[in-house]
Amino acid sequence: MKGLVSARQSAIIASILIFSNKILTLPSLLSGFAKGDAIFILLMMFLADLGVLCLFFFLKNRYKTQCFFEILSSHLTKPVAIIIYIFLFAYFLMKLLLNFNSTQMYFKTQVYHDAHIFIFLFTTIVILATSILGGLRALARTIEFFYIPLIVGLLFCLFISFANINDIPVLFDTSFKSFFTGAFKYTFCFGDFLILFLLMHKIQIDKKWENNFLKYSIFSMSLILVEYGLFFSIFQFTGFLHTNAMSDIIVLSYKFFDIGRLDIIAIITIMLLTFCQIGLYGYAMCEIFNNIVSRLSVKYSCAFVILCFSILYLLFFNSLDFLVEITTIYLPYISILFQYFLPILTIFLRKKIHSEVAYE
């Protein structure tokens, strides 16, 4: 059917989103609470996310062609489904804003010292428009195309940072309270499989499709764990000072083989990774908006998403510190509700329904 994406492409989408908001700022933020034990926070959250993935398998196997909105509407009535989707729109908008904000700060400190914010904003808007208007199939294929270069870039960064290791990370040095406070405050940075529920009707499953998801997701999670391991091995107790983890871990290898600044590899990799994630968040928001306001042209949905993002960023969320504060104070509750309780709710959704969704 037109507009569908393969299980492999969907697995790659999930795998790319796992890196979102985790490889740059999060290691330093978590290190403030849990130091080297942040690795265990990560491990714990990843296990919870894998649980969510299993719930997605369960739901997808039950409702092979139905859309998540339809499932919610038929079980919980349409107004409730719309309310949930409005919150989901806000949730993904915040994810997009956090992702954009942290990466543009990173680029500003690394290579765009005097650049105007509109350089970043313009590029992001073009990427959002391209991803939304091009449709999920083109976006999934694009991410599939860039997947290997992205992984090679990340592996390269991790590989050369091995040269900078001073000692093994200090573990079991945090109290339970700090550990769980850190985990709770940054819950928002996890739960990346939620997007799969929104796109479930566009995923074409085949035999052993679950294996693809598990394989790609566990690989991405392993890479992040390795990055955290390296980060805490290199910076030990000063980790909280290094806000651009992926770039900072190779900072001592600048003159590796006398090639020049090698962090350019990290910069390009993160640029590409961010564009893929921004495109996916934008598409997810458009999908949500189309369900809330049905029969609306995709152009208008795209314009609405871009408008929401631009206005909110320019008026309220143009400071990373402010955004992080919001993320840690208000968003953990909403995150837990949507990232974990909503998927758990799907276990109880068993009514048979007929699809009314038209594919792209």
Partner 1 sequence: MFFSAEEFLNTTKKDLHNSSDVGSRTLKCNDKTVAMIFLKSMINQELFSDAIYKPVKNSNCDVSNKTIEKVILCDNVEDAEFSQAVEKILKGYVIIFIEGEKNLISVDIAKFPMRSPSEPPTSPVIRGPRIGFTEDLKTNLTLIRRRFYSEKLVLKDMKIGRYSQTQICIAYLDGIADKKVVKEIQHKLKKVDIDGVVDAFYVGKFLENRPNSLFKQIGNAEKPDIVAGKMLEGRVAILVDGSPIVLTLPFILIEDFQNSNDYYTSNHYATLIRYVRIVGFLLAVIASGIYISLRLFHFNVIPTKFLITITDTTQAIPFTPFVELLFITLLFQVLYEVSLRLPSYLGLATSIVGALILGDTGVNAGLISPPGVIVIALAKIAVYTIPEQAPQLTVLQIVFLILGGSLGLLGIVGGMFYLINYLNRIDSYGAPYLAPYSPRVNSDLKDGFTKKSLVDMKKRPMSFSNKNITRLK
119 near partner 1, judged by CB under 8 A:
yes
First to last CA, the chain: 9
Nearer to partner 1, 152 or 293 (CB): 152
- Residues 245-284 touching partner 1, rule: CB under 8 A, are 258-261, 264, 267-268, 271-272, 275-276, 279
Nearer to partner 1, 138 or 218 (CB): 138
Q: Is 328 exposed, middle or buried (0-12, 13-18, 19+ CB in 10 A)?
A: middle
Contact window for partner 1 (CB under 8 A) among 75-83, 113-121, 230-238, 342-350: 113-121
Tell me which of 64, 78, 86, 122 binds partner 1, using CB under 8 A: 122
Amino acid at 261: R
Contact window for partner 1 (CB under 8 A) among 5-13, 82-90, 184-192, 296-304: 5-13
Tell me which of 126, 296, 347, 357 binds partner 1, using CB under 8 A: 126
Quote the least distance from Cβ 299 to partner 1, whole Å.
15
Contact window for partner 1 (CB under 8 A) among 111-119, 179-187, 209-217, 292-300: 111-119
Contact window for partner 1 (CB under 8 A) among 60-68, 122-130, 200-208, 298-306: 122-130
Nearer to partner 1, 272 or 312 (CB): 272
- Residues 299-358 touching partner 1, rule: CB under 8 A, are none
Binding string, residues 56-95; x marks residues near partner 1 by CB under 8 A: ----------------------------------------
How many residues lie near partner 1 (CB under 8 A)? 37
154 near partner 1, judged by CB under 8 A:
no
131 near partner 1, judged by CB under 8 A:
yes
Q: Diameter of the chain by CA atoms?
A: 64
- Residues 279-308 touching partner 1, rule: CB under 8 A, are 279
Residue 234 · residue 225 · CB < 8 Å: no
Quote the least distance from Cβ 285 to partner 1, whole Å.
17
Tell me which of 134, 308, 326, 336 binds partner 1, using CB under 8 A: 134
Phi-psi group of 168: left, alpha or beta (phi > 0 → left; psi -120 to 50 → alpha; rest → beta): beta
Tell me which of 3, 48, 123, 162 binds partner 1, using CB under 8 A: 123
Residue 7 · residue 215 · CB < 8 Å: no
Residue 284 · residue 195 · CB < 8 Å: yes
Residue 131 · residue 283 · CB < 8 Å: yes
Which residues form the interface with partner 1 (CB under 8 A)?
Answer: 6, 8-9, 107, 111-112, 115, 119-120, 122-123, 126-127, 130-131, 134-135, 137-139, 141-142, 144-146, 258-261, 264, 267-268, 271-272, 275-276, 279
